[in-house]
Amino acid sequence: MDISDKIKELRKKTGLSQSKFSAKFGIPVRTLQQWEQGISAPPEYLVRMMAYILQLEERGGENEQEE
């Protein structure tokens, strides 16, 4: 799986549109589109950081549901 597939998979897991995903992470929509199309690629650390943030948010949501 290349980096463009990883970024696309992350966004689809969130269920967010490109514009909402971009806004969440402060990325221009056009940049995200280029990443997803494989025109350009984000640094690997950025994709890992985004995945980590989403994972933390997911865990936070689980904790709130348990209360």
* Burial of residue 11 (number of CB atoms within 10 Å: 0-12, 13-18, 19+): buried
> 7-65, pLDDT tens digit by residue?
999 999 999 999 999 999 999 999 999 999 999 999 999 999 999 999 999 888 766 55
The predicted pLDDT at position 12 comes to 94
pLDDT at residue 4, as a whole number: 87
| Contact indicator for 12, 20 with CB cutoff of 8 Å | no
Tokens of 24: 């969440």
Q: Please report, in angstroms and rounded to a whole number, the separation of the first and last CA atoms in the chain.
A: 38
Q: Residue 6's closest CA among 51, 63, 52, 57?
A: 51
> What is the reported pLDDT for 62?
67
Domains of the chain in sequence order: 3-66 (1.10.260.40)
